Amino acid sequence: MPSQQRVRRSVGAAGAAVLFAAVLAGCGGGQSGGPVTLTFYDNSDSAEAQQSVMDRCSQQSNGRYHIDYVKLPKAADDQRQQMVRRLAARDSSLDILGLDVTWEAEFAEAGWIQPWPDDLRKQVEDGGLAGPLKTATYKGQLVAVPFNSNTQLLWYRSDLVPNPPTTWDEMIQMSEQLAREGKPHYIAVQGAQYEGLTVWFNTLVASAGGSLLNEDNTAVELGEPAKKALSIMQRVAGSSAADPSLSNANEGAGLLLMESGQAAFEINYPFVWPSMQKNKPTVNGGVDLASVFKYAPYPRVDANTPAKVTIGGIDLAISAYSKHKDLAFEAAMCLRSNESQQELANVGGLPPVGDALYQNPPTDFAKTYPFYKLIRDSLENAAVRPLTPAYQSLSSITSYLLSPPQKIDPDRTEQKLRDQLTTTLKSQGVIP
């Protein structure tokens, strides 16, 4: 028995030593002169490119920090929930946060993220594109910095439509004419009840000269621009232009509809370009889709006014509970440097947020992004989603009331949106 007790004590002591070491390791590194470990919480949409950028920044720090990539779940709601729970518990293990461009107001209002110092803010704003910068600004403060962005273009088949439409009216008319001729004619767009439907609506409202909320995001705006947007959505969904599964369609479904040869037009993000070039589908009696797959500006609502496209992307924020804020700011600046943006674009397909690469594009960037001028113009003239802590609720209500799109009644739907969004704003706050 005494020997067994000694064994237990030895095992217990060893376990305590291991636990103590683990606690030290979890304190962020640097305990014995090694680099500080900075945790970067972000999605894994372009994991290979992001890991490469993080490795380079860690190496360039000359041993002062190492960036540890914590990959968040695929779904945006799950990503947000994981960070919200940790930040609400004041978890100091979070340093750099990759925020969807709709979360900044919520996180800033809750006091979870650190405003950027004036000197770094000036560096970020010099040469930064207006749209991405707006997503990172809340109540006059830069609460994050643009990391990458995203915007939609019109993609079309030049064998069916030699000259792309410039307005939604033209596109619907072209689609209906193709249908009468028995040719592929669908308009692939996001009609399912989720964020993509809200984005479609927000883009059309902004393109019609309006907005969901007023300038300071304290009251509902909507009105005639919203009714015009709702009319276009209902017209698309109720016409032969609509794929029968439109009310369940997301970005991936749009890509498949085009690559299967059923769509003539597609409203989508640039990821569809490398997919088409890679897959090179052949359809409809031998048509090489990759050779006839073209791009054009997002369709206008008013023929005389360019569209204002709702942008997406990721902004970098620094946790208010990080124990290494100075190093985290430094690392974040490296992660979004021009060198990093070029790599993220070439390898990960993520549009840059600074103007330098668009004005003087390297050969490989111009080859990867032959439509880079359209991307740049869209980001500079972009629409952003309402910058309010209540955005998650606003978006859920909007997509619910717009689904299915073929059931939209412009006047009645606008009034329902006005009533329910007003109620939501009165009780705005963090969604658990």
* 44 and 101 both lie in a single domain: yes
User: Is residue 270 a part of any domain in this protein?
Assistant: yes
Q: What pLDDT score does 323 carry?
A: 97
Cβ burial of 213 (10 Å; 0-12, 13-18, 19+) is buried
Question: Domain for residue 370, yes or no?
Answer: yes
Return the pLDDT at 46. 83
The predicted model gives 242-270 an average pLDDT of 96
241 and 339 belong to one structural domain: no
Whether 6 is covered by a domain: the verdict is no
Q: What is the CA radius of gyration of the chain?
A: 24
Whether 3 is covered by a domain: the verdict is no
Position 1 in a domain: no
Clarify whether residues 205 and 223 are in a common domain.
Answer: yes
Q: Where would I find the beta strands (DSSP E) of 199-319?
A: 263-268, 282-283, 287-288, 293-296, 312-318
Is residue 241 within 8 Å of 186, Cβ to Cβ? yes
Q: Where is pLDDT greater, at 155 or 364?
A: 155
pLDDT of residue 4 exceeding 50: no
pLDDT band at 432 (very low <50, low <70, confident <90, very high): very low
Number of structural domains (the chain) is: 2
The reply to whether 288 and 230 lie within a common domain is: yes
Element (H, E) at 340: helix 338-348
pLDDT in tens, 319-345: 999 999 999 999 999 999 999 998 888
Residue 408, phi-psi category: left (phi > 0), alpha (psi -120 to 50), beta (remainder): beta
Confidence bin at 392 (pLDDT 50/70/90): very high
Strands 96-100 and 65-71 turn out to be: unpaired
pTM of structure: 0.88
Residues 122 and 239 in one domain: no
- What are the tens digits of pLDDT across the range 175-196? 999 999 999 999 999 999 999 9
Q: Phi first, then psi: what are they for 192, rounded to 5°?
A: -75, 160
Instruction: Classify residue 35 as exposed, middle or buried by CB count within 10 Å of its CB (0-12, 13-18, 19+).
Output: middle
Q: Please, where are the H alpha helices in 212-368?
A: 224-237, 251-259, 272-279, 289-292, 325-335, 338-348, 356-359, 363-368
Percent of the chain at pLDDT exceeding 90? 81
CA angle, residues 227, 257, 199, in degrees to nearest 5: 30
According to DSSP, the β-strands at 65-71 and 36-42 are parallel
pLDDT band at 348 (very low <50, low <70, confident <90, very high): confident
- Give 11-46 pLDDT, tens digit per residue: 343 343 333 333 333 444 444 568 999 999 999 878
- Reported residue count of the chain is 432
User: Which of 407, 430, 387, 408 minimizes the C-alpha distance to 212?
Assistant: 387
- Distance, CA of 310 to CA of 395 (rounded, Å): 13
Provide the β-strand partners of residue 319. 113
Q: Please identify which residue in the block is written with the tokens 């009714």.
A: 227
Confidence of residue 1 (pLDDT cuts 50, 70, 90): very low
Let me know if residue 100 belongs to a domain. Answer: yes
Q: Is the predicted pLDDT of residue 397 greater than 60, yes or no?
A: yes
User: Could you tell me if 256 and 107 lie in one domain?
Assistant: no
Confidence class for position 284, pLDDT limits 50, 70, 90:
confident
pLDDT at residue 223 greater than cutoff 60: yes
pLDDT bin (cut points 50, 70, 90) of residue 367 is confident
- Same domain membership, residue 275 and residue 134: no
Tell me whether residue 123 is in a domain: yes
User: Looking at the structure, do residues 283 and 174 belong to the same domain, yes or no?
Assistant: yes
72-76, 104-108, 138-142: least confidently modelled range: 72-76
Can you say whether the dihedral through the CA atoms of 407, 409, 410, 412 is positive or negative?
negative
Higher confidence at residue 394 or residue 76? 394
Given strand 36-42, what is the order of strands in its sheet?
A: 65-71, 36-42, 96-100, 312-318, 145-150
For residue 320 the two structure tokens come to 């208010």
Residue 137 in tokens: 């600004």
Phi, psi of 91 (to 5 degrees): -70, 115
Domain shared by 163 and 277, yes or no: yes
What phi and psi values does residue 85 have, to the nearest 5 degrees?
Answer: -65, -40
Measured over the CA atoms of residue 124, residue 127, residue 128 and residue 131, the dihedral's sign is positive
**Domain identity same for 280 and 397:** yes
Same-domain status, 273 and 401: yes
Q: State the average pLDDT for the chain.
A: 90
What domain range is 82 assigned to? Answer: 13-150+312-380
Do residues 230 and 413 touch, judged by C-beta distance below 8 A? yes
- Domain of 29, CATH number, reads 3.40.190.10
Residues 353 and 408 both lie in one domain: no
Cα dist from 381 to 308, 310, 342, 347, whole Å = 6, 10, 21, 26
7: in domain: no
